[in-house]
């Protein structure tokens, strides 16, 4: 009975009630729900834009500090722990979980949007083209991965080095003490579960819409909610099979498949698109991004109406969106990062996804803009079909469209598979290996929520939930700040005790680990 209570804790109950009410309102009153949540979301971005920009920038610089400081020598685990996954598979998994579907969905459509409506430049000019690249790099570069990274670091450190269970609330023990075992901890974990469910459900809905858009473009299959429901049902069976097979098998294989398919698609775009322009723009766009990084990280544009309106729709929306995704991505990345040093982790999570994003968006963005200039109808297409319209203008376009559909489905399955593990872990008292039936329940629940949102008004329902994600990001950002403070307090104390400067003190390391194990044994006895 004790085990059952831990698997189906109050976190599961409260999160289910909140999400159930939210989905019910969205299904019964889609228009009113969208209007209210949209108004509140707009108020949040209008009122707390400066706060989001400051928090993201401080977290980014804190991650850089960790990578350069002696704290970076600490391992996410015991001193003798080795990484569970090969480095290439590890990088593939963290990237696929972080923003896989976003790369495909917005790979061409976001640069095109910024080219047509830039933050400061004249539309459809060379200056607008440069701004479109720089703005996209900002949204998918260092900032989101710094937030993901700090959440993952705090979780992996408390879980694998300090012996805590894998719940976000437990990372706050260094500053809240045993209060994390009571109502305060429950509130934190419910908020994390809520953000995870909302973020993943919207992602699944977007993925289903793009798959449907591709099938509609290629085969004239109707683009409607019935077809999207069938797509969700088919993909649900596939990702539940992956989830049932286990993390080390299902997600690892799918992540490797993602890399192969994405590599094939990128190579084709690079060769068949404006190759020379792409190759020239990669270093030039990177330099432009880095040169303006600090200014654009903090600029809320209070005196520039054009940029301020643009930021409400893009940067501030993204910052709230990434923050709401951070518990999902952070928990998953922490789970797969055991045995890595903090320095290795920070360097990998800041540089590899940013470099890949820059290269990806440069190739797809420039190819899309050139195709749209030659065929203006592409600029008028909705985002879910725009990429297929672009591919249609290239040699072997049909084959590339099939590869794209397979890549979207693979990313879809990987994200849902990862989410079932994370939700199972959060609602099974932080167990590293939640029971398969728990993952299956959450998998079915995620798919049901995604389809209900589509039934609740298609894009309107999804936009309403995106607004809800922005709203939920505001209180969760306070949790992330507390996690950062708690992690630094604990890690720096350990670093000082171990005498980490150039070399560790092995005797003190052994004594500190023994002391930590004793404290964990006492907590286990209390539980």
The CA angle 23-27-33, to the nearest 5 degrees, is: 80
> What is the model's pLDDT at position 258?
77
For 210-292, strand residue ranges (E) read none
> What is the model's pLDDT at position 462?
58
| Total residues belonging to the chain | 527
Instruction: Find, among 74, 75, 163, the residue nearest to 499 by Cα.
Output: 74
> What is the model's pLDDT at position 5?
44
pLDDT in tens, the chain (527 residues): 344 445 557 887 887 788 778 777 777 777 777 778 778 888 888 899 899 999 999 999 999 999 999 999 899 988 788 888 888 878 877 766 656 778 888 899 999 999 999 999 999 999 999 999 999 999 999 999 999 999 999 999 999 988 898 899 999 999 999 999 999 999 999 888 888 887 777 778 878 888 888 888 888 898 888 898 898 888 888 777 766 665 555 566 666 777 788 889 999 999 999 999 999 999 999 999 999 999 999 999 998 888 988 998 889 888 987 888 888 888 888 888 999 999 999 999 999 889 989 999 999 999 999 999 999 999 999 888 899 999 999 998 999 999 998 888 888 777 777 788 788 888 878 776 777 777 877 888 788 888 877 776 555 555 666 677 778 788 899 999 999 999 999 999 888 877 765 445 555 556 655 666 666 566 556 55
The CA angle 243-248-254, to the nearest 5 degrees, is: 65
Residue 78 makes CB contacts below 8 A (sequence gap 6+) with 160, 161, 513
- φ/ψ (deg, to 5) at 187: -60, -45
- The CA distance from 2 to 6, in Å, is 6
> What is the model's pLDDT at position 66?
94
> What is the model's pLDDT at position 3?
41
> What is the model's pLDDT at position 518?
64
Residue 75: strand pairing partners: 341
> What is the model's pLDDT at position 69?
92
- The CA distance from 317 to 320, in Å, is 5
With a threshold of 0.75, does the pTM exceed it? yes
Contact present, 175 and 418 (Cβ < 8 Å): no
> What is the model's pLDDT at position 12?
76
């Amino acid at each position: 009975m004790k085990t059952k209570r831990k698997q189906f804790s109050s976190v599961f109950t409260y999160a289910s009630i909140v999400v159930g009410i939210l989905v019910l309102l969205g299904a019964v009153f889609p228009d009113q729900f969208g209007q209210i949540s949209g108004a509140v979301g707009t108020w949040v971005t209008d009122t707390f834009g400066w706060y989001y920009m400051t928090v993201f920038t401080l977290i980014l610089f804190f991650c850089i500090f960790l990578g350069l400081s002696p704290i970076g020598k600490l391992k996410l685990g015991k001193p003798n722990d080795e990484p569970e996954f090969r480095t290439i598979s590890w990088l593939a998994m963290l990237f696929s979980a972080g923003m896989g579907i976003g790369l495909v969905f917005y790979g061409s459509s976001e640069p095109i949007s910024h080219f047509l409506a830039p933050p400061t430049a004249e539309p459809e000019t060379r200056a607008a083209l440069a701004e479109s690249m720089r703005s996209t790099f900002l949204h998918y570069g260092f900032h989101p991965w710094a937030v993901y990274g700090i959440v993952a670091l705090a979780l992996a450190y408390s879980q694998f080095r300090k012996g805590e269970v894998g719940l976000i609330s437990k990372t706050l023990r260094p500053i809240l003490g045993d209060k994390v075992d009571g109502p305060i901890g429950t509130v934190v974990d419910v908020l994390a579960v809520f953000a995870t469910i909302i973020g993943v459900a919207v992602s699944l809905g977007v993925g289903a819409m793009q798959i449907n858009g591709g099938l509609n473009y290629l085969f004239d299959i109707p683009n409607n909610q019935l077809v999207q429901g069938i797509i969700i049902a088919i993909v649900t069976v596939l990702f539940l099979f992956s989830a049932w097979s286990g993390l080390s098998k299902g997600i690892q294989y799918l992540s490797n498949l993602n890399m192969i398919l994405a590599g094939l698609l990128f190579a084709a775009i690079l060769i068949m698109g404006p190759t020379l322009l792409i190759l020239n723009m990669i270093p030039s766009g990177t330099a432009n991004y880095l040169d303006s990084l600090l200014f654009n990280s903090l600029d809320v544009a209070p005196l520039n109406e054009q940029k301020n309106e643009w930021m409400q729709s893009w940067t501030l929306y993204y910052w709230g969106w990434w923050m709401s995704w951070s518990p999902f991505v952070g928990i998953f990345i922490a789970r797969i990062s055991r045995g890595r040093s903090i320095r290795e982790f920070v360097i990998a999570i800041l540089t590899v996804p940013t470099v890949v994003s820059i290269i990806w968006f440069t190739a797809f963005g420039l190819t899309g803009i050139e195709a749209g200039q030659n065929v203006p109808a592409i600029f008028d297409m909705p985002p879910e079909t725009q990429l297929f319209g672009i591919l249609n203008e290239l040699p072997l376009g049909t084959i590339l469209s099939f590869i794209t559909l397979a890549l979207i489905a693979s990313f879809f399955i990987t994200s849902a598979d990862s989410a079932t593990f994370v939700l199972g872990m959060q609602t099974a008292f932080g167990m590293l290996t939640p029971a398969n039936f728990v993952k299956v329940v959450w998998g079915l629940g995620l798919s049901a929520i995604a389809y209900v949102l589509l039934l609740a008004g298609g894009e309107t329902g999804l936009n309403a939930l995106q607004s809800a994600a922005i709203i939920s990001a505001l209180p969760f950002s306070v949790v992330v700040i507390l996690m950062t403070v708690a992690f630094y307090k604990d890690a720096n104390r350990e670093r000082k005790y171990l005498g980490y400067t150039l070399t560790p003190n092995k005797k003190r390391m052994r004594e500190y680990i023994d002391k930590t194990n004793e404290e964990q044994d006492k907590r286990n006895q209390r539980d």
